[in-house]
Amino acid sequence: MQPIINLEVLDLYGNLLNNNDLTYLKGLSSLKSLRIGGNQLEGSIDIRDGERSLNLTNLEVLYLGNNFFNNSLLAQLSGLSNLKSLYMYNNQLKGSINIKGGIT
């Protein structure tokens, strides 16, 4: 089977995925839209460049709602310079986000 390296949109909403399942997204660096809401993802995920990351730096739209992410996820989003839309509703985030100064 040929890899789908040119895939730009992937919707995995509501599939009971956990963080370990996300390793299958490695190599999909052409993704522009990723919807992984409504799963059992928690804590944080590494979506930037790097040996252990998913290398999803071309993302323009990212749906993370209805999971169990916490504030540690916010630091991972700083490398997504192409991001235009971000959906993070219904997670375990606390406090505030400084939009003008970046995500801190």
Contact status, residue 29 vs residue 54, Cβ threshold 8 Å = no
Tell me the two tokens of residue 2. 């040929």
- Residues 81-101 have pLDDT tens digits of 899 999 999 999 888 776 655
| 3 in any annotated domain | no
- Residues 41-93 have pLDDT tens digits of 999 887 755 555 677 889 999 999 999 999 888 887 877 889 999 999 999 98
Give the total number of structural domains in the chain.
1
Which of 25, 91, 90 minimizes the C-alpha distance to 59? 25
pTM: 0.84
The three-state secondary structure class of 59 is coil
Q: What is the span of the domain harbouring residue 43?
A: 9-87
| 102 in any annotated domain | no
| 97 in any annotated domain | no
